[in-house]
Amino acid sequence: MVLKAAAVIASPVFDGVFNGDATVEKTCRLIEEAASNGARLIVFPETYIPIFPWWVYMAVSNLKQQELFKQLYKHSFSVDSPQIKKIAQVCKQTGMVAVVGLNEKDGHTIYNSQVFIDQGKILGTHRKLIPTGGERTVWGRGDGSGIRVFETSAGKIGGLICYEHSMSLARYTLYSMGEQIHVANFPGANFKSQQRDRNKVIDAIIRNLAFEGQLFVCNSTTTLSEEEKNFYLELVPSNQGVLEAGGGIAAIVDPFSNYIGGPMENQEGIVYGEIDFDKIILAKHFVDCVGHYSRPDVFTLLFNNRRLTPVERVSQFNHVFKSGLNQEVEQAIEVLKKNLHKVQDDEMVAAIEDLARLI
């Protein structure tokens, strides 16, 4: 199978205030544009909706941070919100698969999430496992239930967010699930206070990932607009000369670490690349890191994919139910647990996890 993929580099809509609704509209337009150019898959930057909170890396007073968080919360959306359903509807109309970076609101916590959508169906999310540095003041932590590879009409797709890509065990877990296309997304800006060239770091990450996993990588980042830059300079005037507009890189990489789309840097746009799945076969003929090039007799990985909740309810009937399980039922549940990553329905996954806790 061969398909055309699209990776976005773009700024969220910012007109002096956060504007989640307007950024959703822009997301829909970009999906329609990519579809009109023959793409089947499109990926968007980290927390593209409504914005990436760059202020966590600046000298911002606690009172200002509280106000900024309040505004971010008000413009963030839950996965079942009308705004995300609107994006899903555009994907249905265009026949697109989309992975969208979202400040995901769940209760009164915000998560840094990737939302996976296949032709109108919201498949699920991946929440960033470890918010980096000051990001911990904004986002909650994901858990193993979000480390998933989704079976889509555009192939087997998984993803990680920004410096999660330093977590080699997370990468390997996705490879083990048969990942064919990896979605990487980052925030992009010319933020010169950090001791690294962000675009060069991203380039190294995504090309190594493609080689290591023998898969395709679609990478998307934001690029900082003049309006957003001016907002932060007004917020923290000492950032003059440190924070500049631009930055960011969008690219598509094949399993041999070659760019087949982009890279496009420091400007808004969409890059396209042809994904030929036969290249994965050829790459894995030489090195299959979860097959013939693995050594499970030397190295093994323990993966906890349970969805974590702050309250576990233990029924008075659990003991009775457990004691009444016969051997065939116990074996069937064990098979379900081992194959849980293949289940795409979130309610079914939760039901299986609840059942598994009883034995």
Q: Convert the pLDDT of each residue in 41-71 to its tens digit.
A: 999 999 999 999 999 988 889 999 999 999 9
CB 145 within 8 A of CB 349: yes
Q: What is the pLDDT of residues 328-343, one digit of tens each?
A: 666 777 777 777 666 6
Neighbours of 53 (CB within 10 A): 23
**Overall average pLDDT of the 264-272 stretch:** 97
What is the reported pLDDT for 15?
A: 87
Residue whose entry in the numeric block shows the structure tokens 């074996």: 331
CATH 3.60.110.10 in the chain: give the residue spans: 2-286
CATH 3.30.70.100 given to domain 2-286: no
What is the reported pLDDT for 320?
A: 46
**Overall average pLDDT of the 109-117 stretch:** 98
**Overall average pLDDT of the 220-227 stretch:** 96
Positions annotated as catalytic residues are 46, 128, 162
CB 5 within 8 A of CB 40: yes
Q: Locate 117 and state its tokens.
A: 């959508």
Say what percent of the chain tops pLDDT 70. 91
- 82: pLDDT strictly greater than 70: yes
Burial 240-278 (b: 16+ CB within 10 A, else e): eeebbbbbbbbbbbbbeeebbbbbbbbebebbbbebbbe
- 323: pLDDT strictly greater than 70: no
CA distances from 243 to 48, 57, 228 (A): 19, 11, 10
User: What pTM does this model have?
Assistant: 0.87
| Length of the chain in terms of residues written | 359
What is the reported pLDDT for 351?
A: 72
